[in-house]
Amino acid sequence: MKSIVLSSVVAALLVFSGCSDKQPAVETKKEVEKPVAQEVEVVETETVASEDSMVDSSSNTNNSSHMSMSDVESQLSAVYFGFDKFDIDADMQAKISKAAELGKTGAIDYNVKLEGNCDEWGSDEYNFALGLKRADAVKKALVAEGIDGSRISMVSYGESNPVCEDKTQECWAKNRRVDFKLLP
C-alpha cells in the first residue's frame, strides 16, 4: 500500500512540474576576426655544382646484407599444408628455415606478411580460421628460427585467393598454403 501511495505522489509531482516556460538562450553571432597577414622569410637557394652532386655509389654496390624486395621475394616459396591441417611437415620446415635465414640477412629491413590460404572445401568461416592457423604456425616457426615476431603480420584469405581452380586433388593441394609477402 505504501508503495502505491509513494508511486502516485512521484507521478503527480512529475505531471505538475512539467516543462518550464523559459525560452532557451541562443548565442548571438559573434563577429569573426579577420586573419592578420604575417611576413614570410625569404628562402635562400643554393646551387650545387654537377661534380658535387654525385652520390658515392662505391659504398652501395652489392651489399649482401640488404637485398631488394623483389630479389628476396623471388627466393621465398610458399609453405604447403595437408588437407584440413595446419601443422608444418618436415619437408616444409626447410622452406621456413630458408625464409628465416633471408629474414636475418638480406631482408633485415623488411617486415613480412604471412597470407594463409585454403582449398574450397569447408565453410567460409572455417576456411578463414584455418588460413589464420596456418599463418600462425609459420609465424611461430619463424620466431623459433630467430625472427622478431613484431616484424611478422598475418592475414587469412580462406578460399578466396586460389592459385589453381581445377577440380583435382593436385589443384586443391596447391591452394592449401601460406605465402610470404614483404612489406617496407
Reported as a single tens digit per residue, the pLDDT across 78-137 is 999 999 999 999 999 999 999 999 888 877 888 999 999 999 999 999 999 999 999 999
Cα gap 83→89, rounded to integer Å? 12
| Full-model pTM | 0.62
**What is the band of 57 on the pLDDT scale with cuts at 50, 70, 90?**
very low
Closest CA to 134 of 111, 156, 164: 156
The least confident of 64-68, 71-75, 175-179 is 64-68
* Domain 78-183 homologous superfamily, CATH: OmpA-like domain (3.30.1330.60)
CB 173: neighbour CB atoms within 10 A? 15
Residue 1 has what pLDDT?
A: 74
What would the grid cell of residue 2 be? 505504501
- Crossing angle of helices 90-104/124-144, nearest 10°? 60
Mean pLDDT over 39-52 rounds to 52
Does pLDDT of 31 surpass 70? no
Residue 44 has what pLDDT?
A: 55
Residue 62 has what pLDDT?
A: 37
- Percentages helix, strand, coil for the chain (3-state, rounded to 5) are 40, 15, 45
Cα gap 171→164, rounded to integer Å? 5
Relative to beta strand 177-183, strand 111-117 is: antiparallel
- Of 41 and 180, the structure prediction assigns the larger pLDDT to 180
Residue 58 has what pLDDT?
A: 36
**What is the band of 63 on the pLDDT scale with cuts at 50, 70, 90?**
very low
Q: Would you list the DSSP string of 120-183?
A: S-S-HHHHHHHHHHHHHHHHHHHHHTT--GGGEEEEEEETSS-S--SSSHHHHHHHSEEEEEEE
Mean pLDDT, all residues of the chain: 78
Residue 9 has what pLDDT?
A: 74
The least confident of 28-42, 116-130, 170-184 is 28-42
Residues 6+ apart with CB under 8 A from 67: 102, 106, 107
